[in-house]
C-alpha cells in the first residue's frame, strides 16, 4: 500500500512540475563568462601549504598517498608505541596519560607540517605559496579595460587565496582588504562574492565584521557555515559511534567513485556483522566499561594532533556541540590543557560570539539586503560512519540541512513519509519536494534561491555548479530556481560535471540498496531474514575465494 501511495505522489509531483514548466518563460542558460560585475571567489581548504623556504609541506590530495607509502615496519613501530602504554600503564594501573601522550606524538608526527601552535598560529613560517600571493597581485594589477575583449569578468579572475587553517575572523580582514582592492581596480561599487566549504566561515565572518554593503550578490556551494560539518563536530564532542551499515554504504560509494577497490568479500562480511547485530552488542559493552576513559582522552589527543589546532576547523563545530567539544579536547575549566591552549581557545571563543551565536541575525541581514543569492546543496551520500549522524542525507561532509540552510530531508536510505509529503502537497508546497522524495526545499531560508545537486560529492566542485553560481550571482535581474535552465533539483555526474534536471527516472544515483528495510530491519522476523540473506551472500563470496585459492594452487 505504501509503495502505491508513493508512486501516486510521484506522478502528481511530476505533473505539477511539468505544468509549471510549460507556463514559465524561457529559462536562463548557465554560463561562466560575460559578467559586468567582478566575482570574488573564496574556496575551501584544499590549497597546498609550504614552509618558510617555499617547500611544499602539506596537501590534502597527497595525504592518502603519503599514508599508503609508509613502510610496514614504520607502521608496526607506531602501533606498538601506542598499544604498549595502553595495555601496560592504562589497563594494568589505570593511568592512561602515557597512552594519550603516545597517541598524540605518533599522529602529530604525521601532521607536523600542518599543525598550528598552542595559540592557533603557524609554525615555521608555513602558509600559502608565493605563487598564490602573486596570482592575486597580478589579478589586481591588470589593465581592466583591456583585460577581456568584451570588458567583462569571469569566474576565476579574482580568486581569494588564504591559509585555510587560520582564524576566520582574521582572514575576514584580509578578504575585506582584497574586496576593496578589487572594487578600486575595477571601478565597481560592489562584487559578487562566492564561497564553498570552509570558505563560508570566512564569508560569514566578513559579513559579521563588515556587513553586506559591498555585496552585489552572494553564492554558496556545499557550505558548512550554518550547522557546521557533523563529522567534524560530533567526532570531538563525544558523539563517536560505529555504524556498520554506514561503513558498508561508504565502501560501496568509494568503490563507485574510484577511490577504493575492495573485494566483495569485505562488503559481505560487514553486511553479515551488521545484520547479526554483533557490533551493537560490542559497542554497548565497550561503552559500559572502558569507552569513556579511553575515548575521551583519545579524542583530545587525536584532535590536537590533527586539525583542531586550527581555528578554522573549530568554526565547523555546530552550536549544540561546541561546549562539549571544548570539554573533550581541552578538559574542564581550569585544566592544564585549557591553560596551555589559552591562545587558541580565545580565538575560537571569539568566533563563537561573533558568528556562531549571531548566525540567525547574520543570515537575516543577507536575506534583507542582498537580492541575488544562490545556494547549492549537494547530496546523494551519507555522513561519516563513525558519528551519530551517519545516516543523515549529505554530500559526505555536510548534511543537506546545513548546506541548504534548513531543508527538511529523509535519512540517506529513506524517503520522506507519505503523510508528510501529502501534507506539504495539500498546503501548496508540492513543487518543493524532490522527485526522489528525499528533500523538501520549502523550509530553507532561501527557498526560491536554493538548488539541490544530487550525485556530486562535497570535495568536487563541478562545471555545472560553477556555471550556476556564476549565472545567478552576476545576473542583472534576480533569478530564482524557476528562471534557470538548471531546475531546483538536478542530478550531476560527479566525474564529468554534466547535469540533468531530476526526474523520477534518473533520481536514483545510489550505489547501495536505499531502503530502510535493508539498513535497519524492524522486528525479529525482519532481522532474521536480513541475517539469512546476508549470510547467503557471505557464503557465496567465501566460495569464490576458496575456489580461486584452489585454482591458484593447481
The tens-digit pLDDT sequence of the chain (554 residues) is 334 334 333 433 433 343 333 334 689 988 888 899 999 999 998 889 998 888 888 877 665 554 555 556 665 666 676 666 666 666 667 677 777 787 788 888 888 888 999 999 998 889 999 999 999 999 998 766 555 555 788 888 999 999 999 999 999 999 999 999 999 998 899 999 999 999 999 999 999 999 999 999 999 999 987 788 998 999 899 887 777 777 777 777 777 777 666 666 666 666 666 666 656 666 565 555 555 566 677 888 889 998 999 999 999 999 999 999 999 999 999 999 999 999 999 999 999 999 999 999 999 999 999 999 999 999 999 998 878 898 999 999 999 999 999 999 999 999 999 999 999 999 999 999 999 999 999 999 999 999 999 998 998 888 889 999 999 999 999 999 999 999 999 999 888 888 999 999 999 888 777 777 666 666 666 666 666 666 676 677 667 667 776 777 66
**Quick check: 537 and 543 in contact, CB under 8 A?**
no
Specify the pLDDT at position 245. 76
Measured in whole angstroms, the distance separating CA 516 from the mean position of its chain's CA atoms is 23
The angle, 0 to 180 degrees and rounded to 10, between the axes of the packed helices 2-23 and 418-426 is: 30
Give the separation between CA 404 and CA 393, rounded to whole angstroms.
12
Other beta carbons less than 10 A from residue 443's beta carbon: 17
Residue showing cell 530491519: 521
C-alpha torsion angle, residues 299, 305, 309, 315 (rounded to 10):
-50
| Sheet containing 499-501, strands listed edge to edge, beginning at the edge strand earlier in sequence | 158-160, 39-42, 191-196, 215-221, 372-379, 450-454, 489-492, 499-501
- The set of cell numbers assigned to 505 is 527516472
| Rg of the chain (C-alpha set) | 25
Q: Strand 49-50 and strand 39-42: pairing? A: unpaired
Specify the pLDDT at position 2. 39
Give the separation between CA 439 and CA 452, rounded to whole angstroms.
9
**Quick check: 162 and 311 in contact, CB under 8 A?**
no
Burial class (CB in 10 A: 0-12, 13-18, 19+), 279: middle
Specify the pLDDT at position 269. 66
Specify the pLDDT at position 112. 84
Look at residues 411, 436, 433, 413 and name the one whose alpha carbon lies nearest to residue 505.
436
Specify the pLDDT at position 82. 65
Helix ranges, 49-96 (H): 60-68, 72-85
Give the separation between CA 232 and CA 464, rounded to whole angstroms.
27
Look at residues 520, 553, 317 and name the one whose alpha carbon lies nearest to residue 413.
520
User: Which region, left, alpha or beta, applies to residue 334 given φ > 0 means left and ψ of -120 to 50 means alpha?
Assistant: left
Specify the pLDDT at position 302. 87
Give the separation between CA 469 and CA 32, rounded to whole angstroms.
9
**Quick check: 484 and 472 in contact, CB under 8 A?**
yes
Look at residues 362, 502, 354, 351 and name the one whose alpha carbon lies nearest to residue 445.
362
First CA to last CA across the chain, in angstroms? Answer: 54
User: Which region, left, alpha or beta, applies to residue 331 given φ > 0 means left and ψ of -120 to 50 means alpha?
Assistant: left
Q: Detail the DSSP E strand segments found in 345-449.
A: 372-379, 408-409, 439-440
Q: Strand 56-58 and strand 49-50: pairing? A: antiparallel
**Quick check: 224 and 198 in contact, CB under 8 A?**
yes
Give the side-chain half-sphere CA count within 13 A for 228. 26
Beta bridge partners of 127: 50
Q: What are the two backbone dihedrals, phi and then psi, of residue 76, each rounded to the nearest 5 degrees?
A: -60, -45
Look at residues 506, 487, 502 and name the one whose alpha carbon lies nearest to residue 21.
487
Give the separation between CA 490 and CA 335, rounded to whole angstroms.
50
Candidates 3.40.50.1820, 3.90.1150.10, 3.30.70.2190, 3.40.50.300; correct CATH number of 1-51+125-218+350-516? 3.40.50.1820
Longest dimension (CA), the chain: 78
Give the separation between CA 179 and CA 191, rounded to whole angstroms.
7
Other beta carbons less than 10 A from residue 446's beta carbon: 21
Give the separation between CA 118 and CA 111, rounded to whole angstroms.
15
Amino acid at each position: 500500500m505504501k509503495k502505491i501511495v508513493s508512486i501516486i505522489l510521484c506522478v502528481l509531483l511530476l505533473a505539477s512540475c511539468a505544468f509549471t514548466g510549460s507556463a514559465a518563460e524561457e529559462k536562463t542558460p548557465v554560463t561562466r563568462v560575460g559578467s559586468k560585475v567582478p566575482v570574488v571567489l573564496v574556496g575551501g581548504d584544499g590549497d597546498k601549504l609550504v614552509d618558510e623556504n617555499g617547500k611544499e609541506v602539506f596537501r590534502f590530495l597527497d595525504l592518502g598517498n603519503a599514508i599508503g607509502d609508509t613502510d610496514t615496519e614504520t607502521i608496526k613501530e607506531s602501533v606498538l608505541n601506542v598499544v604498549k602504554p595502553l595495555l601496560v600503564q592504562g589497563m594494568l594501573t589505570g593511568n592512561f596519560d602515557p597512552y594519550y601522550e603516545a597517541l598524540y606524538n605518533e599522529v602529530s608526527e604525521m601532521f607536523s607540517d600542518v599543525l598550528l601552535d598552542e595559540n592557533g598560529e603557524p609554525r615555521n613560517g608555513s602558509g600559502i605559496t608565493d605563487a598564490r600571493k602573486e596570482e592575486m597581485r597580478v589579478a589586481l594589477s591588470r589593465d581592466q579595460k583591456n583585460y577581456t575583449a568584451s570588458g567583462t569578468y569571469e569566474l576565476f579572475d579574482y580568486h581569494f587565496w588564504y591559509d585555510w587553517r587560520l582564524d576566520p575572523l582574521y582572514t575576514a580582514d584580509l578578504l575585506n582588504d582584497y574586496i576593496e582592492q578589487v572594487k578600486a581596480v575595477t571601478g565597481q561599487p560592489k562584487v559578487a562574492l562566492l564561497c564553498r566549504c570552509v570558505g563560508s566561515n570566512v564569508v560569514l565572518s566578513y559579513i559579521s565584521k563588515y556587513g553586506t554593503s559591498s555585496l552585489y550578490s552572494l553564492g554558496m556551494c556545499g557550505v558548512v557555515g550554518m550547522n557546521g560539518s557533523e563529522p567534524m563536530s560530533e567526532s570531538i564532542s563525544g558523539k563517536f559511534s560505529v555504524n556498520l551499515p554506514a561503513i558498508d554504504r561508504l565502501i560501496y560509494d568509494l568503490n563507485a567513485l574510484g577511490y577504493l577497490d575492495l573485494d566483495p568479500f569485505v562488503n559481505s562480511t560487514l553486511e553479515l556483522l551488521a545484520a547479526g547485530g554483533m557490533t551493537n552488542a560490542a559497542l554497548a559493552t565497550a561503552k559500559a566499561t572502558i569507552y569513556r576513559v579511553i575515548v575521551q582522552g583519545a579524542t583530545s589527543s587525536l584532535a590536537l594532533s590533527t586539525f583542531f589546532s586550527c581555528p578554522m576547523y573549530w568554526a565547523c563545530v555546530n552550536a549544540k556541540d561546541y561546549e562539549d567539544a571544548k570539554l573533550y579536547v581541552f578538559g574542564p575549566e581550569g585544566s592544564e590543557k585549557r591553560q596551555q591552549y589559552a591562545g587558541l581557545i580565545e580565538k575560537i571563543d571569539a568566533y563563537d560570539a561573533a558568528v556562531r551565536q549571531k548566525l540567525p541575525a547574520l543570515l537575516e541581514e543577507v536575506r534583507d539586503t542582498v537580492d541575488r543569492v544562490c545556494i547549492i546543496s549537494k547530496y546523494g551520500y551519507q555522513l561519516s560512519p563513525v558519528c551519530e549522524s551517519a545516516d543523515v542525507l549529505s554530500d559526505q561532509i555536510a548534511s543537506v540541512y546545513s548546506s541548504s540552510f534548513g531543508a527538511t530531508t529523509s535519512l540517506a536510505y529513506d524517503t520522506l513519509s507519505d503523510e508528510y509529503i501529502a501534507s506539504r502537497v495539500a498546503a501548496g508546497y508540492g513543487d518543493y519536494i524532490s522527485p526522489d522524495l528525499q528533500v523538501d526545499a520549502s523550509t530553507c531560508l532561501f527557498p526560491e534561491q536554493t538548488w539541490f545537486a544530487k550525485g556530486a560529492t562535497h570535495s568536487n566542485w563541478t562545471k555545472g555548479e560553477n556555471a550556476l553560481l556564476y549565472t545567478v550571482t552576476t545576473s542583472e535581474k534576480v533569478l530564482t530556481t524557476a528562471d534557470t535552465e538548471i531546475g531546483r533539483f538536478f542530478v550531476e555526474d560527479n566525474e564529468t560535471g554534466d547535469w540533468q534536471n531530476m526526474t523520477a527516472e534518473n533520481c536514483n544515483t545510489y550505489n547501495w540498496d536505499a531502503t530502510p528495510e535493508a539498513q535497519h530491519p524492524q522486528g525479529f522476523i525482519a532481522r532474521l531474514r536480513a541475517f539469512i540473506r546476508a549470510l547467503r551472500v557471505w557464503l557465496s563470496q567465501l566460495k569464490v575465494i576458496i575456489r580461486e585459492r584452489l585454482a591458484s594452487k593447481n
